[in-house]
Chain A
Amino acid sequence: MSILEIEGLHVYYGAIHAIKGISFKVEPGKIVTLIGANGAGKTTTLSTIAGLIKPRRGKIIYNGQEIQGLPPHAINRMGICLVPEGRRIFPNLTVMENLMMGAYNRKDKNGVKQDLEWVFSLFPRLAERKNQLGGTLSGGEQQMLAISRGLMSRPKVMMMDEPSLGLAPILVEEVFEIIKKINKEGVTILLVEQNAVGALKISDYGYVLETGNITLEGHSKELLANEQVKKAYLGL
């Protein structure tokens, strides 16, 4: 059974029809990616799943339960976590406080402690800077903080919106490596990327989103080899 299933989702911004009835599935333990150009509706899709935007029609099914229309904090508590685009860390809170905000709804103190150690082992740089204000970190470090903050809620599904945006090429690779590592720990990942090559390389399955519709889907390897995808998104 899929852990997350989207069925005929329609989202509007006022009169603008942003998502036009898309359906897709995320299998547990996998990395699934949505690729597409600017304005295709990738961020809208993730925001809708996270509950930040209410869909007009359609279903979002998480573990067999319909979650569309629930408030974001309720969805977060069920184990779906969004690492938003542009990082959106809390600039005037320290790194440590940022991380603790991720674990805000958790009551298991020991588990939180363990996850903190895990996060610090993933990103040793954050451990060094845990008393620094979030806003004083570099762009790459902020992205790491945003991912770590998401992990602190111990999500079952982690949605990442453009984690490689605005990062230096070396860092982009590092971020993709980290995503793979997190996935190996059993976290299902739904990844949205403009960097289609990177995303398809690490993911298991991919969907191509074009102006609110899914136009193509397949195993990531197949998509990487697909002539149409190559032309439109890979620049090959």
Chain B
Amino acid sequence: MVTAMRTMKEKTRRDLTLTVLFVIFVAILLQVANVKFDSYQKQVLSLMAIYGIMAVSLNLVNGITGVFSLGHAGFILLGAYTSALLTIPPEQKAMIFIIEPAHPFIANLHTDFFTATIVAGGISALGAFIIGFPVLRLSGDYLAIASLGFSEVLRILALNLQSITNGSLGLKGIPNHTNIWWSWGWLLVTVLFIVSLVKSSYGRALLAIRENPIAAEAMGINVFKHTLLSFVISAFFAGVSGSLYAHWLTTIDPRITTFGPVLTYYVLIMVVLGGLGSVSGSIIGAILFAFLMEWLRMFEQPFTLFGRQYPAIQGMRMLVLSVLFVVTMIVWKRGLFGRAEITWDGIRKLMKKFRRSGSR
């Protein structure tokens, strides 16, 4: 028993070392990419991490706590606007608010990117706290619809609060702060935070709520409090991703294509593709999604088939993407990872299997 515990401890220490080494390895790869890649490729690389944060945070609510929320875009929007208003210099604001001058409080706000991102997360979390009280009392489809409605309300507010958000003109000239380091660094923070949360007894309670809310309640878990907290934490990181997204796009507006339900669906696709409930799955799903969205652009080019010229078809990549997803979901019913995670134990087992089949 004692020796078993000691080997357990040794194993956790070894896994920790492996994880640190892995992070350093990824950092080196990113540095190489930073030097070798052109600016388009670097943009896509940053987007992968931004999508990763969005997916991992949505997975906390939808996958781990088992509450089906469709309001993620709302929290991302809240974060994006908050941080953009904080980093756009006052002179720039004077130039873009042309229909109605910016509210004096907002006109003179100015902070650095890091502070702006933290504040963005905080405002989103606050929004989740306020909206969570009515929305999380619902369940199932009703909760999904209510959260979807909430994110649309936020978007419509952004469209109409002229002196705060500049309405339909959007915010232009947001400094281009998001680079590979900011986006992947925040992804690391997000993953570390959410993984340690899931591994704690608090995280187990969230899993219990997903498995069976009534039994969880009967076991003395305050289901409402726990779901609310997971909702708030998820919104914090959604806000962070919104801030990174705004400083990646450099222009944000409240059009339906930017922060509408489509964005929520994109994130949902990443999470479900990776495996609802799996953090590693969410990251892989996000990276795959960002990659495919760019790579499939080749289907939107003019092409020649059997000697005949065809013009470019707009939106063709979405069609191909949809077909790919349908096929994926038929083959892997619960996403690429299901609920499994990539762990060092799993990798060790896989290596052993390989070695055994190699020696045979």
Contact = CB atoms under 8 A, between A and B. Distances in A.
Same complex origin of A and B? yes
A102 B218 CA distance: 9
Contacts, number: 63
Contacts of A84: 214-215, 218
Given A101-B205, A104-B201, A104-B205, A88 B212 contact: yes
Contacts of A101: 204-205, 208, 216, 219, 221
B222 A71 contact: yes
Contacts of A52: 214, 217-218
B207 interface: yes
A107 to B, nearest CB: 11
Nearest to A82: B218
Interface in B91-116: none
Contacts of B216: 90, 101
Interface stretch (A3-11, A20-28, A92-100, A205-213): A92-100
The B interface, classified by DSSP as helix, strand, loop or mixed, is helix
Interface string A74-117: 00110001101000111111000100111011000000000000
Interface string A35-68: 0000000000000001010000000000000000
B207 A93 contact: yes
B218 A90 contact: no
Contacts of A143: none
A93 B208 CA distance: 8
B204 A100 contact: yes
Interface residues of B, number: 18
Given A92-B339, A93-B204, A97-B204, A104 B211 contact: no
Contacts of B211: 90-93
A90 B208 contact: yes
Given A90-B207, A97-B204, A104 B212 contact: no
A30 interface: no
Given A52-B214, A90-B212, A77 B207 contact: no
Given A90-B212, A149-B219, A153-B219, A100 B207 contact: no
A81 to B, nearest CB: 8
B220 interface: yes
A72 interface: yes
Interface string B177-219: 0000000000000000000000001001101100110111111
A104 B207 contact: no
Contacts of B204: 93, 97, 100-101, 104
A73 interface: yes
A153 B201 CA distance: 15
21 contacts: A50-B218, A52-B218, A73-B217, A76-B220, A77-B220, A81-B218, A82-B218, A84-B214, A88-B212, A89-B212, A89-B215, A90-B208, A90-B211, A90-B212, A90-B216, A93-B211, A101-B221, A104-B204, A104-B205, A153-B219, A153-B220
Interface of A: 50, 52, 71-73, 76-77, 81-82, 84, 88-93, 97, 100-102, 104-105, 149, 153
Q: What 7 A-B pairs are tightest by C-beta distance, nearest first?
A: A76-B220, A90-B211, A88-B215, A73-B222, A72-B217, A105-B220, A82-B218
Given A76-B219, A93-B208, 15 more contacts: A52-B217, A52-B218, A88-B212, A90-B211, A92-B211, A93-B211, A97-B207, A100-B201, A100-B204, A101-B205, A101-B219, A102-B219, A104-B219, A104-B221, A105-B220
